[in-house]
Chain A
Amino acid sequence: MIKFKEKLSGRIFFALALSSISVLALITVFIVVKGAPMLGAVGGLSWDPEYGEFGIIPMVIGTLAVTLGAAVIGVPVGICCAIFLAEFAPLKMRNIFRPAIQLLAGIPSVVYGFWGLMFIVPFIRDHLGGAGLSILAGSVVLAIMILPTIISISEVALLSLPPHYKTGSLALGLTHWQTIYHLMLPAAKSGIMAAVILGIGRAVGETMAVILVLGNAVAIPDSILSSVRTLTTSIGIEMGYAEGMHQEALFATGIVLFVMIMIINSLAQYVVRKK
């Protein structure tokens, strides 16, 4: 009887695991089947579905620009914050900071977007000019959203270094900062790289936060105050109304996005394993 129960539970878990994998397979097949017919037609520079033009290059550029912006703002802040938490923060402060950062990860992305629309966008419009809905606004919002990912993974990378690295270095007369800069950061490099890459992956896939603050124009941007749309926002904003070739082109956009995120994620895994 016990043996039967053991076997049964094993099978139930197997079935559940299988269903989650089949969902992944179903989604992949669905997107590819729907998008493949238009995949060849999305290489152009102009997106104007009313005129049958489905070029997604402006969206690819928009995605790269916003993601790069988010990384430029978010990565230094995130890594510094991780160093602070791992090395400098007294225990009490750490106990406040850590849950607070985890809470940051739990805020729904549409709330970030709304906050960006209400505070960042008017700030940019009043102080830097333009319509405010811009690459800069999107980058700031995304930078804040990727902070929890970057901070928690880098902190774990720093904390998991063998303690004798630090004690040895201090014993040899290096200061605390020299130890961090010359020894701990290089030693934790692969973990920190993985944190950055995963953060970037999150930024690429984020839709709801940036749909509100980017302005979603389809032109190729000429400054960080230009409005752009990313691959995700393009799908999010137009899928409701799309049909026929337009819909297929949006699925093709999904394939491009899917491939981009897969590349980013495998890069992160590669970096971690290389160590």
Chain B
Amino acid sequence: MKLFYKCTAAITAILLIALVSGCARLNDGVILAGSTSVQPFAEILAEEYYLLHPEKIVDVQGGGSSAGISAAQSGTADIGMSSRRLKENESALWSVEIAKDSLAIIVHPQNPVNDLTMEQLRDIYSGKIGNWSELGGHDAKIHIIAREAGSGTRSSFTDMVMGDVRISPKALIQNSNGAIRLLVADDQNAVGFISSGILDHTVKPVSLDGVLPTGENIVSGDYKLFRPFLFVCQAEPTGETKAFIDFTLSSHGQRILAGEGLIPVAKGVIEP
């Protein structure tokens, strides 16, 4: 009797452990994981790829840039997607830039401020400039909105704008581009940064040092706030993985990305 209970207990435990650790790889298709900024574009690429090669499976998952890079490092994913440059300790990985994306600084459409310098932007986010009147706007407190720690968008912003200066702890934190856009569209005194691929009429992008984030300005390099979208692999890719990356970098793949609002890396592809 006692033995029976022990057996039941042991079997239950084994089953539970199997359940918990049962993340073994099941298919032999290509698995992409990482940045939620790159994810929607990778999904579109995967759909198109599926139409061309219905027998090949491409599976796209989110998780964030850092998670994607470490998934590529450990081999859990064939391709890690990153919306930031690789850090020093990650530079041993193989990576390729698939497109560029720019960050737009957005305010409420009725905010009279149209232009900021890079320095003003840094001072706003560090909390040094706290009132719109210091920038030629109304006398109102600036509500700064940032992304959460670990987000590729945040770390690109930190690299390109903040340098060694820290983002104020009083910054409101939202965990998606869409949430920031929603808040800024609703709050006359808010400022935020989002991927310019998702700009719409509910918010107003400000020009940085006099340059607006238009397609032309980003391609020409005049608009300074852009970041690479990377595919990261453990080592030089082969087989199925290589085929998918080649497709992404082909003029067909690049045209898809350009059509979705990204800046293609390949020369000669239609300008956005």
- Pick from A26, A58, A219, A237: contact of B148, CB below 8 A: A237
Segment of A45-53, A92-100, A147-155, A181-189 engaged in the interface with chain B: A45-53
Assuming the A-B contacts A133-B172, A240-B62, are A125 and B67 also in contact, with contact meaning beta carbons closer than 8 angstroms in the complex? no
Query: Does any Cβ of B come within 8 Å of A176's Cβ?
Result: no
Assuming the A-B contacts A48-B166, A133-B172, A243-B67, are A22 and B150 also in contact, with contact meaning beta carbons closer than 8 angstroms in the complex? no
Segment of B186-194, B210-218, B236-244, B246-254 engaged in the interface with chain A: B186-194
The reply to whether A216 and B189 form a contact with Cβ atoms under 8 Å apart is: no
Cα distance, A131 to B8, chains bound together (Å): 56
The reply to whether A240 and B175 form a contact with Cβ atoms under 8 Å apart is: yes
Chain B residues with Cβ under 8 A from A48's Cβ? 149, 166, 169
Separation in Å of the A217 CB from the closest CB of chain B?
Answer: 5
Query: Does any Cβ of A come within 8 Å of B170's Cβ?
Result: yes
Cα distance, A48 to B168, chains bound together (Å): 10
Query: Does any Cβ of A come within 8 Å of B264's Cβ?
Result: no
Query: Does any Cβ of A come within 8 Å of B120's Cβ?
Result: no
Segment of B9-17, B109-117, B201-209, B220-228 engaged in the interface with chain A: B9-17
Query: Does any Cβ of B come within 8 Å of A177's Cβ?
Result: no
- Pick from B9, B13, B66, B148: contact of A243, CB below 8 A: B66
Query: Does any Cβ of A come within 8 Å of B20's Cβ?
Result: yes
Interfacial residues of chain A within 41-92, with CB under 8 A of chain B in the complex: 46-51, 58
The interface size bin for chain A is 35 or more
Cα distance, A111 to B172, chains bound together (Å): 21
Chain B residues with Cβ under 8 A from A23's Cβ? 16
Separation in Å of the A196 CB from the closest CB of chain B?
Answer: 31
Query: Does any Cβ of B come within 8 Å of A246's Cβ?
Result: yes
Query: Does any Cβ of B come within 8 Å of A218's Cβ?
Result: yes
Cα distance, A49 to B169, chains bound together (Å): 12
Extra inter-chain contacts (14) besides given A11-B4, A133-B183, CB under 8 Å: A14-B5, A19-B15, A48-B166, A125-B187, A131-B187, A131-B190, A216-B173, A217-B169, A218-B173, A226-B170, A238-B149, A238-B175, A240-B175, A242-B150
Residues of B within 8 A of A (CB): 4-5, 8-9, 11-13, 15-16, 20, 36, 62-67, 70, 141, 143, 148-151, 155, 158, 166, 168-175, 183, 186-187, 189-190
Residues of A within 8 A of B (CB): 11, 14-15, 18-19, 22-23, 26, 46-51, 58, 122, 125, 130-133, 215-219, 226-227, 229, 237-238, 240-243, 246
21 contacts between A and B (CB under 8 A): A11-B4, A11-B8, A22-B12, A23-B16, A48-B169, A49-B149, A50-B149, A122-B186, A131-B187, A216-B148, A216-B172, A216-B173, A218-B169, A237-B175, A238-B149, A240-B175, A241-B149, A241-B151, A242-B66, A242-B150, A246-B150
